[in-house]
């Protein structure tokens, strides 16, 4: 479960890093502000507009798209976890 939560943090970390922001500090600040203000609409302010409220900046992520991404990622992980045998090649063929 912890690995799944860490995987969800990868997107905001990448956004912060690619925007020239310190990724770990930015993610920690966003999470802390989300917890204190109870506002799930906060995100990484890549454009430096002074607000990290994604609704105010008109940044929307359709639920159906997000749901499909999570379902596909979960299916991929399940397929990988089903692999229980390793096939090695030998050079004696």
Q: Structural domains in the chain?
A: 2-82 (1.10.560.10)
State if pTM tops 0.85. no
Residue with tokens 């379902």, as numbered in its chain: 71
Which residues, listed in sequence order, are joined to residue 71 by a DSSP beta bridge?
none
What is the tens place of the pLDDT at every residue in 45-81? 888 766 788 888 888 888 899 899 889 988 998 888 8
Element holding 1 (H helix, E strand) = none
- pLDDT value of position 52: 85
């Amino acid at each position: 479960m912890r690995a799944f939560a860490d995987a969800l943090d990868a997107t905001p970390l990448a956004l912060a890093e690619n925007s020239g922001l310190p990724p770990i500090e930015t993610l920690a600040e966003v999470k802390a502000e989300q917890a204190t203000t109870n506002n799930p609409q906060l995100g990484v302010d890549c454009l430096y507009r002074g607000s990290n409220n994604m609704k105010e900046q008109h940044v929307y992520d359709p639920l159906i798209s997000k749901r499909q991404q999570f379902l596909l990622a979960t299916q991929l992980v399940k397929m990988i976890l089903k692999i229980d045998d390793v096939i090695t090649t030998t050079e004696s063929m």
